[in-house]
Amino acid sequence: MLVIVAPGQGAQTPGFLAPWLEDRVFASRLHWLSTVAGIDLAHHGTVSDADTIRDTRIAQPLLVATTLVATLELFPHPGDGFNQVGAVAGHSVGELAAAVGARAISAEQAMVLVRERGVAMAEAAAATPTGMTALLGGDRDEVLAALARHGLTPANDNGPGQVVAAGTLEQLDALKADPPPGARLMPLSVAGAFHTDHMAPAVDHVARLALSVSTHDPRIPLISNRDGQVIHDGREVLKRIVGQIASPVRWDLCLDAMSDLGVTGILEMPPAGTLTGIAKRYFKGQGVETFALKTPDQLDDARAFCAKHGEGSLIDVTPTWRMVVSPAKGTFELDGAAGGADLLTAGAEIGTIISLRDRIVVTAAHGGQVVEWLVEDGDLVSPGQPLLRLHPEGVE
């Protein structure tokens, strides 16, 4: 089972796009997305120095555009991707690229949103001196307790041994003076405290723009940064992408979901390396292979990796049918009213997924005529597993 992941801010390095731009098709597609974003991405990906591409307003569009164009290099025919990719996920801003890959939003919509996201986050960061520090190692509970003690937010929970703290510079200095035992602190070169309340003004701005974005239900299970759930409602995907600007990235829960899905291969899109490194630590000894796609000369090997692990999406993509899928691993508890209904209204509750961690109510976001229940009350289900097939009301 293959999962494609898209990196977040901080993965970029000076000149990383140079070998990719030797391909005329890649260069042409990047120029198109540069025009949409209003930024010369080719220049910044080849000539600009580290300080320049660290700027949030440049880094975020550069990362998303690179992932989008590189994906078309990996899968020249998008149908090949749908037949092989079992799920997608993106770290922080990478979730925008993942949403495009799942066909929830278009590439052009993603580039407008990421342009405005980067600008708004930079402006929010300028309002108060804030920053981020990675804590490597240490006991997880002690690390989180130390952050709480100093009023800091665990802005990125990246899995075993890596939590990123965010807050004011004074709070970060206090953490440096009073760190949790066994943890190594690494200040990050970022403009501000991303994924915290300090970014609230940016959420408001991007949320207004999102009102004009048309969405589609993902054709590939998309694992959400917020809680590791598989999201199969395009409107909910967009809502979560907007909200994650000021809320923590739970990459640890995304990794849990990949494990629940039965992942055997994880491929990271360029500029790759960060997320595959985290995955190697998380899945150590579990037989999960990783591939960090960094340069175009790796494309043939990357395609072979995808063919080896690819099984395709669990979601039936026949256009006239609606699927309701499970957001997580657990036991399905059928809602009595839904179980006896022939027609469900939009937003109707169909049941609950009960896991060791929580209870997740599942709804039929669009509603429709009940065609076929694909599970029964008490069945064990996996993330992204189809639960119910619906036919849109009023459609012949």
Tell me the per-residue pLDDT of 38-86, one tens digit each, with 9 for 90 and over: 999 999 999 999 999 999 999 999 999 999 999 999 998 877 888 899 9
Are 58 and 118 contacting, i.e. CB atoms less than 8 angstroms apart? yes
Distance CA 64, CA 12 (A): 11
Element (H, E) at 2: strand 2-6
Q: Give pLDDT, residue 321.
A: 63
Distance CA 256, CA 128 (A): 34
Q: Give pLDDT, residue 366.
A: 87
Tell me the per-residue pLDDT of 330-346, one tens digit each, with 9 for 90 and over: 999 999 999 999 999 99
Buried b (16+ CB within 10 A) or exposed e, 14-29: bebbeebbeeeebeeb
Q: Give pLDDT, residue 396.
A: 44
CA proximity to 125, closest of 196, 65, 72: 196
Q: Give pLDDT, residue 135.
A: 96
Tell me the per-residue pLDDT of 235-264, one tens digit each, with 9 for 90 and over: 999 999 999 999 999 999 999 999 999 999
pLDDT at 395 over 90: no
Residues 6+ apart with CB under 8 A from 366: 233, 322, 346, 390, 392
Q: What is the pLDDT of the chain when averaged over all its residues? A: 94
Which positions are catalytic?
92, 195
Tell me the per-residue pLDDT of 128-177, one tens digit each, with 9 for 90 and over: 999 999 999 999 999 999 999 999 999 999 988 899 999 999 999 999 99
Q: Give pLDDT, residue 316.
A: 55
Q: Give pLDDT, residue 144.
A: 95
Residue 7 CA: distances (Å) to CA of 11, 65, 170 = 6, 12, 29
For 205, other C-beta atoms within 10 Å of its C-beta total 18
Residues 6+ apart with CB under 8 A from 297: 19
When pLDDT is averaged across residues 318-337 and rounded to a whole number, the result is 86
> What percentage of the chain carries pLDDT values higher than 90?
89
Q: pLDDT-derived band of residue 317, with 50, 70 and 90 as boundaries?
A: low
Q: Is 287 exposed, middle or buried (0-12, 13-18, 19+ CB in 10 A)?
A: exposed
Tell me the per-residue pLDDT of 193-218, one tens digit each, with 9 for 90 and over: 999 999 999 999 999 999 999 999 99
Instruction: Give pTM, 2 decimals.
Output: 0.92
Tell me the per-residue pLDDT of 91-110, one tens digit each, with 9 for 90 and over: 999 999 999 999 999 999 99
Q: Give pLDDT, residue 2.
A: 97
Are 246 and 203 contacting, i.e. CB atoms less than 8 angstroms apart? yes
Domains of the chain: 2-124+197-309 (3.40.366.10), 127-187 (3.30.70.250), 322-391 (2.40.50.100)
